[in-house]
Structure 1
Amino acid sequence: MGEAVYAWGFILVLGLAAVLTPLVMAFAHRVGMVARPKEDRWHKKPTALLGGVVIFVAFMAGMLAMGRGGRGETAFLLGALIIFVVGLVDDIRALSPRMKMAGELLAAFIVVAAGIHFTTGLGAWVDWPLTLFWIVGITNAFNLLDNMDGLSAGTAAIAGVLLFIHTRIMGSPEVALAALMLSAASLGFLIYNFNPARIFMGDCGSLFLGFSLSVLTLLGTWTRYSVANLIWSLAGPVMFLTVPIMDTTLVSIVRALNGRPISQGGRDHTSHRLVAIGLTERQAVLVLYAVSLAFGLLGVYLNRLNLPTVSVIFIFMTMVAVYFAAFLAQVPVYGNHELAVTTDGDLTRRKATAILRRLVESVADVVVLVVAYLAAYLLRYDGVLTPARMHLVVQSLPVVLPGFLLSFWFFGLYRNLLRYTGVYDLVAIFKGVIVGAAISMSGLTLLFRFAGYPRTVFVIYVLLLLILIPANRFFLRGFHQLFLSTSNREGRKVAIYGAGDAGEMVLRELLNNRQMGYVVVGFIDDDPAKHGFSIHGVPILGPATALEQIAASGVEEVIVAMPSAPANRREEVIAMCKSLGLRYKVVERIV
C-alpha cells in the first residue's frame, strides 16, 4: 500500500469530519439534542450532542472509499456498527446499563468469533475471556474518559496515530490505514470539541472510539505477539491506551471503596483531579495528552526489544502510572456540601482512602520486586535470558515475593505514611531488604537446594532493592510536592523570618496544606551565609533590611520562626513588622 493511499485516506476523513460537525451541531440544537448544564458537569451552557455521528460516518465513509480487506475487518465493522447504534439509542432514550452491556458483549463476541483475540499460548479458555474483557473494558473506558472538553477525542487521535506508526512498522497496512482514518475522524471533530467545546460526542462517539481502538490494537499486534507470554501480548495495547485504562481503574476503585455506583457520573476523574490541584481545564487535558503520547511512543518501541526487556519496561511504566493515579486519588474533588457528609460517611471515606493507600503501596512494592529481580538477571547475564534462566526466574518468584513482602510487613514499611518518609524509614527498608533476601534464599535452598541459582544475582538484587525501594517510597512524595509547587499560587503572601529548622518546618506545613491560604514568597534571615540560597524552592531574600522591600511588593504577613534566637532579637523583628504595617505570627519553642 503506497504512501499516497494513507495521505488521501487521512485528508478525506479529516475533511469530511470537519465539514459534517457544524451541520450536526445545527441539527442537534434544532431537535433539542443538547446537554444542559448540571451540578456534576462542567459546561456552563447548553451544548450540542450527537458529535459521535460525525466520527462514525466520517470513519465508515473512509473505510468504504479506500476499500475493505484484511483479516477480520468485516467482523470489526459489524461490531462497530452495533456499538454505534447502542450508543446512539442510549443518547436518545437512555438505555439501562444491562442493555448497554448486552450490546457491547454482542459486538465483542462477533469480533472474537471471527478469530481476532489475544494469543497467550494458554488456550481459548484464557484467550477468549481475556479478549472479551479487553474489548468491553476499553469500550467503557473511553465512555468514562469523555468527561472534559477534547479529552476523549484527543486521546483517541493520539492513540490512532501511534497505532498507525506501529502497524506500519509491523507490516499491517490495512490496520495502519484504519487507525490513521480513525485518528483523522477524531481530529476533525476535535476542532469543535476542544475547550470550550461547542459539541459533545455522546455515548455513540465514545463507545465507538473505545471499541474501534480496542479491536485495532488487537489486529495490529496479534501477529507479532503470538507467543506464549501474557506480558508480551498485552504490553503494546496497554501502552497505547494507558490514559483511558488508568482513568477507569482509578474511578472504579475510588467509587467502589466509597460505596458509589461505578456507572454514576461525577467530577472525580483523572482530569477533574488535575484541575483540583490548580491546573486549568485545558492544561489538565494537555497533561493527559502528554501522558498518552509518552506511553504510546514507548509502546511503539517495545516491538524492537527482547521479552525480558519488554517485561522490565512494561512493569516499570505500570508502576509510574499506578503512582500517578494514586497521587490523584488523594486529591479531594468534592466539597462537604456536595457529599452531604455525615460522621459515619466521613469515617468510611477515610477508611477507604487508607485502604487505597495500602493497596497502592503493596502493588508498587510487588512491581519493584519483580522489576528488580528481572533486572538482576539481565545485569548478571549481560541482557541475555535463555529459556533455562527464565525458568529459574518463574520458578523462584513465588518464593522470593512472599519472603520480601513478609519482611517488609514485619519491619513496619506498611504502617508509615509515604508522605512523611524519612531517615528512620530508610533504616527499616534496609533491615527489610536484608532479612527478605535471607528468607528468600533460605526458601529456595529448602525447596530447590538453591540448584542453578547464581548467588551473584541475589547480591545484585539486594543492591537494586536498596536503591529502588526507597525511590519507590519517595516517588509518591515527589509527585505530591511537584504538583503542589506548581499549583494554586493564589493566597495571602507571607514571608518567613528565620531560615532554620523552625522556618523549614513552617514552610513544609504551608506547602502541604494549601487550604490554609498562604503563599510563601521568601525567607528573611540574619545569617549572611544563607543569603542567595533557597529552601524547597523558596529563596532566602536577605537580612532584616529586606523587610521593607517585601512589604512594598505586597507581602501582608511575616511568620517569625526563630524560637532559639534571644528574646530581645525576636522583639526587634516584631517591632520592625509593626513599623512597616505587616501582620505577624510568632513560632514559639516546643519546650
Structure 2
Amino acid sequence: VVRAAARRLGMVAKPKTDRWHKQPTAMLGGVAIWAAVVISYVAFTPQTPIGWRIIIASTFLFFVGLVDDLIHTKPYQKLIGQIMGAAFIIYYGLSLPWTNSLPLNMALTIFWLIGITNALNLLDNMDGLAAGISVIASCFLGLSFLHTGQQTEALMVLTFAGALLGFLIYNSNPASIFMGDCGSLFVGFFLASTALVNVSGGRSRSFLPVLAVPILVLFIPIFDTTFVTVLRKISGRAASQGGRDHTSHRLVALGMSERHAVWMLYGFAALSGLLALLVQRMKLDVSLAAIAGFTILLTLVGVYLAGVKVYDQAEEMSLRDKSPFSFLIDFSYKRRIFEVLLDVVLIILCYWSAYAIQFGALSESAAWKLFLRTLPVLVFVKMATFLVMGVYRGLWRYTSIDDLIVFVKAVVLSSIASVLVVLFAFRFEGFSRTVFLLDGLLMFMFLAGSRLAFRLFRQLLPATDGRDGTRVLIYGAGDGGELLLREILNNRDLKYSPVGFLDDDPAKSGKVIHGLKVLAANGDLTAVCKQYEVDELLISSSRMSEDRVQEIVLRCNEEEITVRRMRITIEELRPN
C-alpha cells in the first residue's frame, strides 16, 4: 500500500552518481515500519511508561525524517530534531550509566542517541542492509532483555523486529521500496533508546556488560560510520556527504555480489550480537579477551577494505591535495604504527590465553596476579626482540616463507628472553614453564596469522568477479604461468578473469594452481576454449617454439579468440 502510494505521489528515489541503486525506487517505507510498530505495540504488547516514552520520542524522529523526505531539510535542522528527541528521553530518566557523573552520563547519552540514529541512516546504503542489521540487533537486544529478566521490554523489541522483518521482504535485493529518512531515523532512534533500557534495568550487573553490550549489539552501524567518517576526512570529503565508499560498497568492489556483501555484514552483526550475550555470562578476563579478538578481526578487515579503490584516481588525488589530513595518507599506508599497536595487543592476548589454557579463567585468582605482574615485562622484552629481529621490515601483502622463518626466530628468541627475565627478576616462583611454551606457540600463530590475513582476504574476497572482465586461459602451467596469474589477480586494471591453465606436460593435467585447474593442451584446443567460454589465450612461456605459437594462433583465430604473449624484458637505459 505504501509503495503504491509513494509511486502515485512521486516519492521515488532516482539513481544518482553518489547513490548505489540503479533503478527508480519507491520511498517512504518508513511509514509502513512506523505504522506496524505502533499498531503492534498498542495491540499486542503490555504497555509501560518507558515503552510509551520510547514510542513517542521515536515517532517524533519519524516525523523529522518524513519532513526531510518530503522537502529535503538541512542537516542542522535534522540534528536539532535529534537533540530534541534525545532531551525527551533523558528527561524521563533513561541514560547510559557509564560514569559516576550525572552530567557526563547525560552528555554521553545524547551522543549515543544521535550517533546511533545517524549510523543507521548512513548504513541504509544497499538493499536490505540497514533493515536486516536492525532485525539482528533487535533480536539480540530481546535475548539480552530476557537474560536480565525484562520480559515486557523483550516482547516490545521483538515485536519491533517482526515489523522490520516484514519490510525486509520488500527491501531485499532487488528492493522495490526504500525506508527513507523517516524509516532510518525512526529505526535508529528506537534501537538506541531501547538499548538504554537494557543497560539501565534488569538485575545487578557488572560494569563491563553495561559498557559493552549496547556497543556490541549495534557494532556494525558503529563500525561502518566510524570507518567511512575517518576515510572521508582523510580524503577530503564531507562526512555527511553521500557516497559509494561504505563497507558494503567496498566488498562489492572486491568482486562480491550485493547480496553476498549484505549477508557477510549480517554475519558480522550476528557474531557481535552473540558476543554481547556471552559478555553477560563470562568472567571479566574472558570477556575482555573475546572482545579484543573480535576487535582485531574487524580492524584487519577495515584496514584491508580501506585500500580498495572506489573512486576515480584523479578525483581522489585532487581531493587529497585539499584535505587538511592528507599527511595521514602515507602514514596509514606504511601501517608501521598499526603493526606495533596490533602486536602489543597480540602479546597480551597470547599471554592471557596461555594462562587461561593452563589455569582456567584468571579473574581474582593467584594466577591473575602473576599475569598482571609480569605482563609489562613480557611486552617490553617481546617488542624489543621483534624490532631487533626485523619483524617490522616486511610488507604484509608479500608475506612469504622467509618472513615466517623470521617470525619463528623472533618468537623463539623473545620467549627465551622472557623466561630469563622472569627467572632473574621473580626467581620463577609460582610460574609454570607450560605457560611460556603455550605463549610461544600462540604468539607465532597470531603473529603469522595477522601478517597472512591480507593474503587470506584476497583468497576469500577475490579482486575479480568470474562474470565480469575478459575470460582468459593461461597457456603454460610453470613459473611463468604462475607469475602471470599473480599479476592478473593483483592488477585489476587488466580486467582479466582467469578460468584455468593449459600445458603440454601430461603430468600437470588435472593439477590445481591457486585454485585454477590445469588442462591438457594436447587435445582439441578450440573445444577447450568453447567449453570454458574463453575470450583470450595468454601464452606465459618464452621457451615455446615459433612453430607451436603460430599453430596456436591459427587455431584460435578460427574461433575469433585473441592470443597474447607475456614477455619480461630488461632493457638498458642511457642518458639522452
Provide the TM-score with structure 1 as the length reference. Answer: 0.83
1:580 aligned onto 2:530? no
Give the aligned partner of residue 509 of structure 1: 487
1:53 and 2:28 matched? no
Secondary structure in 1 matching 2:21 = coil
In the alignment, which of 456, 461, 469 is matched to residue 491 of structure 1?
469
For residues 451-490 of structure 1, what are the structure 2 equivalents within 5 Å? 454=432, 456-484=434-462, 487-490=465-468
Which residue is 1:19 aligned to? Answer: none
Aligned partner of 2:545 in structure 1 is: 570
- Do the aligned partners of residues 331 and 113 (structure 1) sit closer, same or farther apart at CA in structure 2, a change above 3 Å counting? same
Q: Give, as a single letter, the amino acid of the residue that structure 2 aligns with 1:143.
A: N
Asked if 1:329 corresponds to 2:317, the answer is no
Measured in 1, the distance between the counterparts of 2:62 and 2:470 equals 51
Deviates more, 1:199-208 or 1:45-54: 45-54
Amino acid at match of 1:559: L
Structure 1 residues 488 and 101: alpha-carbon distance in aligned structure 2, compared to 1, 3 A threshold: farther
Distance across 2 between alignment mates of 1:454 and 1:124: 46
In structure 2, the residue matched to 1:377 is 355
Q: Taking structure 1 as reference, are residues 290 and 362 closer, same or farther at Cα in structure 2, changes over 3 Å only?
A: same
Structure 1 residues 414 and 74: alpha-carbon distance in aligned structure 2, compared to 1, 3 A threshold: farther
The aligned runs of 1:259-338 (5 Å cut-off) are: 259-336=236-313
2:162 matches 1:187: no
Deviation at 1:184, TM superposition (A): 1.8
1:482-519 C-alpha deviation (Å, 9 max, x unpaired): 21177244333333333222221211111122331222
For residue 534 of structure 2, what is the aligned residue in structure 1?
555
| 1:233 counterpart residue number | 210
1:100 counterpart (66, 70, 78) = 78
TM-superposed deviation, 1:544: 3.7
Per-residue deviation, residues 461-483 of structure 1 (Å, max 9, x unmatched): 22211111101111222112221
* Alpha-carbon offset, residue 581 of structure 1: 3.0
Aligned residue pairs total: 564
Runs (5+) with no aligned partner, structure 1: 1-21
SS of the residue corresponding to residue 517 of structure 2 reads: strand
Residue 231 of structure 2: aligned partner: 254
- Normalising by structure 2, we get a TM-score of 0.85
**Structure 2, unpaired ranges of 5+:** 558-562, 572-576
Q: Tell me, in whole angstroms, the C-alpha distance in 2 between the residues paired with 1:298 and 1:342.
A: 39
For 1:241, give the aligned amino acid: L
CA distance in 1, matches of 2:38, 2:26: 22
Shift, 1:143, TM fit: 0.9
The Cα shift of 1:297 comes to: 3.7
Answer yes or no: is the 8 Å Cα contact 1:322–1:360 preserved in 2.
no
Separation in 2 of the partners of 1:255 and 1:387? 46
Which residue number corresponds to residue 3 of structure 1?
A: none
Report the Cα offset of residue 344 of structure 1: 4.4
Q: 1:151 maps to which residue? A: 129
* Farther off after superposition, 387-396 or 421-430: 387-396
- The farther-off stretch of 408-417 and 493-502 is 408-417
Question: Which aligned pairs between 1:129-144 and structure 2 lie closer than 5 A?
Answer: 129-144=107-122
Comparing 573-582 and 336-345, the one that deviates more: 336-345
Describe the SS at the equivalent of 2:19: coil
Q: CA deviation at 1:258?
A: 0.9
Tell me, yes or no, if the aligned pair for 2:12 and 2:26 is still in contact at 8 Å: yes
Distance in 2 between residues matched to 1:122 and 1:387, nearest whole Å: 28
* Compared CA separation, residues 136 and 373, structure 1 to 2 (3 A): farther
1:430-441 equivalence runs, <5 A: 430-434=408-412, 437=415
Aligned 8 A contact 1:121 1:229 in 2:
no
Of 446-455 and 258-267, the range deviating more from structure 2: 446-455
Q: Is the 8 A contact 2:236 2:322 kept in 1?
A: no
For residues 420 and 588 of structure 1, the distance between their equivalents in structure 2, rounded to whole angstroms, comes to 20
Kept in 2, the 8 Å contact 1:122–1:228? The answer is no
Residue 201 and residue 576 in structure 1: after superposition, are their counterparts in 2 closer, same or farther (change >3 A)?
A: same
Amino acid in the other structure paired with 1:574: V
The one-character-per-residue Cα deviations of 1:74-114 (angstroms, maximum 9, x if unpaired) are 54334323433433343344444444334434433544555
Would you say the 8 A contact 1:120–1:228 is kept in 2? no
Determine whether 1:418 maps to 2:403. no
- Give the distance between the partners of 1:445 and 1:122, measured in 2 at CA: 42
Q: Distance in 1 between matches of 2:324 and 2:358?
A: 49
Aligned residue type for 1:580: R
Give the share of equivalent positions with the same residue, in percent.
Answer: 39
CA contact (8 A) 1:524 1:540 kept: yes
Amino acid at match of 1:584: R
> Are the counterparts in 2 of residues 560 and 584 from structure 1 also a CA contact under 8 Å?
yes
* Contact 2:473–2:501, Cα closer than 8 Å, also in 1: yes
Supply the AA of the counterpart residue of 2:61: I
In 1, Cα distance between the equivalents of 2:158 and 2:79? 28
CA distance in 1, matches of 2:479, 2:160: 57
| Alignment partner, residue 574 of structure 2 | none
Query: Closer, same or farther in 2 for the Cα pair 1:235/1:256, shift >3 Å?
Result: same
294-303 vs 263-272, which deviates more? 294-303
**Cα-to-partner distance string for 1:541-589 (whole Å, 9 max, x where unaligned):** 12444635434444344433345xxx5x533532331332362314458
Which stretch has the larger CA shift, 462-471 or 308-317?
308-317
Distance 1:343 1:80 in 2: 39
Distance in structure 2 (CA, Å) of the matches to 1:449 and 1:103? 63
CA distance in 2, matches of 1:240, 1:54: 24
Aligned residue for 2:550, secondary structure, equals helix
SS in 1 for 2:461: helix
Find the aligned partners of 1:100 and 1:410 in 2 and give their Cα distance: 54
Paired with 1:112 and 1:439, the residues of 2 have a C-alpha distance of: 54
| Cα separation, partners in 2 of 1:533 and 1:351, compared to 1, 3 Å | farther
